[in-house]
Structure 1
Amino acid sequence: MKERIVTAIVAMGIFLPLAWIGGLPFVILTYIMATIGLFELLRMKKQPAMSGQSLLAGLMLWVILLPGEYFQMLAAGRITKMEMVYLAVLLILSYTVITKNRFTFDEAGFSILSALYVGTGFYFLIETREAGLVYLFYALFVIWGTDSGAYFIGKSMGKRKLWPVISPNKTIGGSIGGIAVALVIALLFAVLADMGIPTMKLLFVTVLLSVFGQMGDLVQSAFKRHYGVKDSGNILPGHGGILDRCDSWLFVLPLLHILQII
């Protein structure tokens, strides 16, 4: 427990100031986090980090992460981001031929999906911060509140398992408790922060975010169970890897923009 607390304090000591500053420092931090997260996924698949396919997946990730203004500066309007992402897909598929199918189509699919999954989630981390610090803090507090509520309420009141095949410790009571805590947090933001969102809409969106955040957690548990690993990585002592801590972010942050509340 002490190790977890120390790690959390150090991590927040790095993340929160850079989130507050925003701009290029926060973009660089996001690139670092996303790159580590991608290679955690590839390592689960036992795909070597220093290999052609991993480097191509990393290149695709970096293209997806590029904020609009940075992309325009680099591309000068000659090519769209979608075209560059598709070019990266073609390069990864071509690599199956170059390696004479030692790098298979299935592995190429895993690399492409991993880059899309991690890259899109962290791209919207940047976009959410650009929209305003209040939106980023709202999303993060909803995620953290859901996790804490699910843990403590599930531990004291949860009896029926939520999805034992995937995550045996999660309960239905804990899941509902997590949503309840998220709603309390949303009410606090509605009262104390100027988000420009009607309260009822904010509460409805919060329920969706809490549910999808829990789904992101379950997806990460499914990955780890399928590949037979306890944690996605060990960069955060006591917590595991970047994906172990940010799994809900990858579902919640894009959803904020899909629901058009930012």
Structure 2
Amino acid sequence: MKERIVTGVIAGIVFILLIVIGQLPFTIVIIGLASIGLFELLKMKKIASLSIMGAISLIFMWTIVIPNQWFETGILSNFSRSDLLIGFIILFLAITVLTKNSITFDEVGFVILSSAYVGLGFHFLIETRLLENGLSLLFFILFLIWSTDSGAYFAGRSFGKRKLWPEISPKKTIEGSLGGIFCALFIGLIYHYFVPISDSIGTVIIMILVVSIVGQIGDLVESALKRHYSVKDSGNILPGHGGILDRFDSLIFVLPVLYLLHFI
């Protein structure tokens, strides 16, 4: 427990400082975290990171995660993101033939979906910070996710009786889930009172509910992955906390949904 607390405090302080600094340092670190997250997924599938497939997968994910402005200047300005993604997908499919099916269609499908899952989530983390109100908005989203986790934990321990989804995550309860949502509403409205997020309180409430509910779904997605591949944690880079995906599973699932709903 002591190791978990120390790691959590140090990692939390460093991450908050990076968010405040923003700009290139934040972008570089997030790309690095996304790279580690992808390697964690490849390891689950027993695809070696230090292999041709691992290297191509990493470059493919980078094509997804890098900020939009990088395609507007420099050498990347000669390409569009969609052109590169299509090219990579064709390359992945060709690899199944060139390797005489030692790299299978199943592995290629896994890599493409994994790169999209990790790349899109961390991409919108970078893009959110780059917004004019990115700092306050990103902290708002993070506080909602953290308060959901805390509320669900304490409500589950105190009142939890009915299992939420035992086949995926045996310890989670319906009462804990509802407790997380109520805690997010409480913290989110307090945050909005001091740092207004929108002119409409209705929009703020809807956003809070979306972040809290979708964040819990993101946590279950990661739990389903780990259960399917029979691993306890996605990695061990954070002592007492597991891997990068264990810590960012809710956030990288929430951000693309907020983008689709035009909240970011």
TM-score between both structures, scaled by the size of structure 2: 0.96
Q: Which residue pairs with 2:145 in the alignment? A: 143
- Given the alignment of the two structures, is residue 112 of structure 1 paired with residue 112 of structure 2, yes or no? yes
Q: Which residue pairs with 2:215 in the alignment? A: 213
Deviation of 1:259 (Å): 1.7
Q: Is the contact between residue 197 and residue 204 of structure 2 (CA under 8 Å) also seen in structure 1?
A: no
Deviation of 1:49 (Å): 0.9
Q: Is the contact between residue 197 and residue 261 of structure 1 (CA under 8 Å) also seen in structure 2?
A: no
Distance 1:197 1:47, change over 3 A: farther
SS at match of 2:119: helix
1:31-180 equivalent positions in 2, closer than 5 A: 31-75=31-75, 77-131=77-131, 132-180=134-182
Q: Is the contact between residue 143 and residue 210 of structure 1 (CA under 8 Å) also seen in structure 2?
A: yes
Q: Which residue pairs with 1:258 in the alignment? A: 260
Q: Quick one: distance in 2 between partners of 1:188 and 1:259? A: 23
Q: Quick one: distance in 2 between partners of 1:85 and 1:188? A: 42
Which residue type is aligned with residue 148 of structure 2? T
Q: Quick one: distance in 2 between partners of 1:197 and 1:57? A: 42
Deviations 1:206-233 (Å, cap 9, x if unpaired)? 1121111000000100000000000000
SS at match of 2:72: helix
Runs of 5+ unmatched residues, structure 1: none
Deviation of 1:76 (Å): 5.5
- Given the alignment of the two structures, is residue 238 of structure 1 paired with residue 243 of structure 2, yes or no? no
Q: Which residue pairs with 2:188 in the alignment? A: 186
Deviations 1:179-229 (Å, cap 9, x if unpaired)? 001101211122000323411111112112111100000010000000000
| More off after superposition, 128-137 vs 117-126 | 128-137
Deviations 1:7-54 (Å, cap 9, x if unpaired)? 111212321111101110000010110000001001001111111111
Q: Quick one: distance in 1 between partners of 2:259 and 2:120? A: 12
Runs of 5+ unmatched residues, structure 2: none
Deviations 1:222-261 (Å, cap 9, x if unpaired)? 0000000000000000000000010001111122222212
Q: Is the contact between residue 56 and residue 91 of structure 1 (CA under 8 Å) also seen in structure 2?
A: no
Which residue type is aligned with residue 107 of structure 2? E
| More off after superposition, 185-194 vs 139-148 | 185-194
